[in-house]
Amino acid sequence: MNGGQYEDTDPSEVDLADPASHAERDLTPLWHRLREKEPLHWQPPNGARPGFWVLTRHRDVSAAYRDTQRFRSDRGNVLDTLLTGGDSAAGMMLPLMDGPRHTALRGALMKAFSPRSLSGVVDSIRVASRDLVTEFLERGRCDFATDIAGLLPLRAICDLLGVPPRDRRQLLDMTSSALGSHSEEALRQNAWVAKGEILLYFSDLAARRRANPGDDIVSLLTQCTVEGRRLTDEEVVFNCYSLILGGDETTRLALVGGVAALLDAPAEWEAFRSGRTATESAVEEVLRWTTPTLHAGRTAGADVDLHGRTIKKGDIVTLWNASANRDGDAFADPDRLLLSRQPNRHLTFAYGAHFCLGAFLARAEIGAVLDDLRQLVGTMAAAGPARRVYSNFLTGLVSLPIVWTTSARR
């Protein structure tokens, strides 16, 4: 399965809940080791902080995503909130619901996320991507994270939610601070303030849309009926929060990570540029390679026997997409970027009932940027140190300075 060179990493030395473990270390050897030797790993308690189970194999992570009875989302779906007693939006926000109510709310939102409904948003993303890439190519340099990737996903999700253009910059700043930051201090100080600000912002917008509905998702949420009743103000606001956070920073990290991967793999970049690799497979490989959301969290809904151990009802279980996406049993040559890879059953968007609602939109955004890179860019190179996000949930770069030139073929 996996090579013996990875056997030296001692899992007890790594605290998977600590953002530093992800921001400051390469955990590839640990994931190899866990998949091979300890596919159900127990991360022990740390002081008052509870312990949690760690799933790393592609097969186990997929099975847990599929089994919403035994691996529940309705207390929280990320480690931080589960470790502190559960999410305050549990049962109200789509990803934090299970069973019929989840199915009903998902059904109500699904129409707004269909390729047909999104065609206008996708067209406007293509134009925005082309304009931004052209503008910064003329300048010869940019920080790809902030100048390009930082603007497109937020624009798309703001179009969907009907957020007025004048508020968008402010929302970008708030969302960056709410989920991850570039340092531990910034993370602690900003996260709670930012979360409160986002909730307040959407509370105000939802009140305006309830009174005066338009053709956007905030209006849809205020008008829709789920299991015989309208959503409360609180439910509307939490779901807006979920969409903006779920849709913005993840896609941004995939876009930046895609460019960073191309810089590190010149032969892949050349094959892509010359048209030998299709955009569709490149998008999927960028998604597998970057895996912006490291894990999903669940709570055991029953005792579960797995790999000779028992997960007790109520235990916290973490599903590590980061590891599953590099599992040699699911991917040939898993630690290699291969833009033509097919099939590519990555778990970047999860699997089953909670499969990412924004997957089509995220794929369209990444495809638009990759197409522009292919058509417009000649050469690209790093122009300074990249900076990583500081989080145990998100991974990727918050800064990627590059120099680049326009393609002679233009």
Q: In angstroms, give the least distance from the CB of 242 to ligand HEM.
A: 6
Q: How far is the CB of 260 from ligand HEM (least distance, A)?
A: 15
Site for ligand HEM, residues 185 to 244, rule: CB under 6 A: 242-243
Using the structure block, give the residue that is written with the tokens 């019929």.
100
Q: 350 to 369, contacts with ligand HEM by CB under 6 A?
A: 350, 354, 356-358, 361-362
Q: Taking the chain, what is the end-to-end CA distance rounded to the nearest angstrom?
A: 45
Which of 56/242 has CB closer to ligand HEM? 242
- To ligand HEM, the closest distance from the beta carbon of 108 in angstroms equals 11
Kindly tell me which of 117 and 407 has the beta carbon lying closer to ligand HEM.
Answer: 117
The side-by-side arrangement of strands in the sheet containing 401-406 is: 141-143, 401-406, 377-382
HSE-CB of 371 using CA atoms within 13 angstroms: 15
Is residue 396 at the binding interface for ligand HEM, with CB under 6 A as the rule? no
The sign one gets for the Cα dihedral 96, 100, 105, 109 is positive
Nearest to ligand HEM of 33, 341 (CB atom)? 341
Residue of minimal CB distance from ligand HEM?
A: 358
| Distance of closest approach, residue 58 Cβ to ligand HEM, in angstroms | 14
Residue 117, token pair as written in the block: 């409904």
Scanning 12-20, 228-236, 292-300, 401-409 for contacts with ligand HEM by CB under 6 A, the matching segment is 292-300
The Cα–Cα gap between 186 and 307 comes to: 39
Mask: binding to ligand HEM, 50-69, rule CB under 6 A, as x and -? --------------------
How many Å apart are CA 355 and CA 271, to the nearest integer? 31
* Distance in Å, CB of 106 to ligand HEM, minimum: 5
Among 94, 187, 231, 282, binds ligand HEM (CB under 6 A): 94
Q: How far is the CB of 96 from ligand HEM (least distance, A)?
A: 8
Asked if 33 contacts 320 with a C-beta cutoff of 8 angstroms, the reply is: no
Task: Using CB atoms within 10 Å of the CB of residue 228, give its burial: 0 to 12 exposed, 13 to 18 middle, 19+ buried.
Answer: exposed
Residue 245, Ramachandran bin (φ over 0: left; ψ between -120 and 50: alpha; else beta):
alpha
Ramachandran angles phi, psi of 286, nearest 5°: -60, -40
**β partners of residue 43:** 52
Q: Contact, 54 vs 41, CB < 8 A?
A: yes
Q: Report how many residues bind ligand HEM under the rule CB under 6 A.
A: 25
Q: Is 181 helix (H, G, I), strand (E, B) or coil?
A: strand
Answer for which of 19, 76, 95, 150 binds ligand HEM (CB under 6 A) is: 95
Closest CB 88 distance from ligand HEM, rounded Å: 16
Closest CA to 32 of 388, 406, 320: 320
Q: Quick one: which of 90, 296, 364, 397 contacts ligand HEM (CB under 6 A)?
A: 296
Binding mask 148-167 for ligand HEM (x = CB under 6 A): ---------x----------
Q: What does the block give as tokens for 204?
A: 């105000």
**What DSSP character marks residue 99?**
H
Choose which of 348, 391, 392, 395 interacts with ligand HEM (CB under 6 A). Answer: 348
Of 190-198, 218-226, 269-277, 348-356: span binding ligand HEM (CB under 6 A): 348-356
Spatial CA neighbour of 240 closest among 185, 193, 200: 200
Burial zone of 226 (CB within 10 Å; 0-12 exposed, 13-18 middle, 19+ buried) = buried
**C-beta of 151: minimal distance to ligand HEM in Å?**
14
Q: Lay out the site mask for ligand HEM across 248-287 (x = CB under 6 A, - = otherwise).
A: --xx--x---------------------------------
Binding residues for ligand HEM, per CB under 6 A? 73, 77, 94-95, 106, 157, 242-243, 246-247, 250-251, 254, 292-293, 296, 348-350, 354, 356-358, 361-362
